[in-house]
Amino acid sequence: MNKKIVFSGVQPSGSLTIGNYIGALKNFVELQDEYECYYCIVDLHAVTVPQIPKDLRSHSLDVLSLYLAVGIDPQKSTLFIQSHVPAHAELGWILNTITYMGQLNRMTQFKEKSKKSDENLNAGLFTYPVLMAADILLYQSDFVPVGEDQKQHLELARDLAERFNSRYSDTFVVPEPLIKEFGARIMSLQDPESKMSKSDRDENAFILMLDNKDAIRRKIRRAVTDSLGIVAYSDQQPGLKNLLNIYSVLSDKSVDSIVANYDGKGYGEFKDDLADVVIQALSPIQERYKEYRQDKAFLESIYREGADKAEAFAAKTLRKVYKKIGFIPRI
């Protein structure tokens, strides 16, 4: 029996945070035995906010190295760079023509990101979710593992698949999001009401997957909590709730058992132990990352083979789409 298909991607728009790890990469690894997985480095998305070309190149290889370091096996999963497969941009264009402006106007990520980038409010940032729909639909994806912040974009992808199918006959699989109950939304350490984001201007707001031990400990010590002084999992203590989520996912212990362990103890001890948990989870990844990152030839072979495989699949879907909408095939 054919395996179901999984697609997801990460933007090389900076160094990845533990939010990216917990909400996305960690889950990518868990899926690769059961599904046929396509994991992309979505550089076409990254340029919707200004990027320094040298850094973008470097971040793309960083993300690829992190994919490998967390345990994604290129023998099992297809790893590739989005701009190497032109069908993404081509299907993105077609889907633009069936997307309503009103739908894009409602996208909360656009509203938030456009507030931050008023000097370069480009059309790409607005149509970003359409390109994301193209990424997913090109591979006839059944499932898309993402963090909670991408749920609305996934809804659009489903909607566009259904609209195209009903207008031109069955063409696309309608994808389902895979969003974990725990860790799908890791919050900023400085403002637990907003998402932890790699582009946050305050570097104390996030922990990077490649942060050293001192930085991890320092950032956790500085994390905003509250004045109640009780380690409990409650909406009244959003800072602590976020830290408990991180603790639970990275230690594989239940929130209840962690809370019980800190009965009568203060935030200082809890935070020190959490720092140990994060360091222990990230250290082996960082070690492997260093090795992969310096092996340029190996990285090149992975993304070249990945692009070949992805391109073959994507071209087939695109050919079908072009035929259905009435484009004359180039013989």
Q: Which among 26, 180, 198, 219 is annotated as catalytic?
A: 198
Tell me, yes or no, if 324 is annotated catalytic: no
Question: Does the annotation mark 320 as catalytic?
Answer: no
Residue number with the shortest CB distance to ligand AQP?
23
Task: Enumerate the H helices of 97-150 as residue ranges.
Answer: 101-105, 108-116, 123-138
CB 37 within 8 A of CB 28: yes
* Residue 20 sits in the site that holds ligand AQP (CB under 6 A): yes
Least distance in angstroms from the C-beta of 53 to ligand AQP = 16
Q: Is 11 in the site for ligand AQP (CB under 6 A)?
A: yes
User: Segment near ligand AQP (CB under 6 A), from 98-106, 191-199, 213-221, 320-328?
Assistant: 191-199
Q: Is 219 one of the annotated active-site residues of the chain?
A: no
* 175 close to 137: Cβ distance less than 8 angstroms: yes
Does position 306 interact with ligand AQP (CB under 6 A)? The reply is no
| Secondary structure of residue 79 in the 3-state scheme | strand
Nearest-angstrom CA–CA distance, 315 and 81: 15
| Binder among 23, 74, 92, 306 for ligand AQP (CB under 6 A) | 23
**Among 24, 61, 87, 210, which residue interacts with ligand AQP (rule: CB under 6 A)?**
24
Q: Are 92 and 84 in contact (CB under 8 A)?
A: no
CB neighbour burial string for 92-127, b if at least 16 within 10 angstroms, e if fewer: bebbbeebeeeebeebeebeebeeeeeeeeeeebbb
**Which residue lies nearer to ligand AQP by CB, 281 or 321?**
281
DSSP 37-67: EEEEE-HHHHTTS---HHHHHHHHHHHHHHH
Residue choice 149, 159, 226, 276 for contact with ligand AQP (CB under 6 A): 149
Dihedral angle over CA of 232, 233, 239, 245, nearest 10 = 120
Of the candidate residues 31, 91, 184, 231, the single one contacting ligand AQP (CB under 6 A): 184
Active-site position among 26, 113, 219, 271:
113
Interface with ligand AQP includes 77 (CB under 6 A)?
no
Q: Which residues bind ligand AQP (CB under 6 A)?
A: 10-11, 13-14, 17, 19-20, 22-24, 146-147, 149-150, 184-186, 195-199
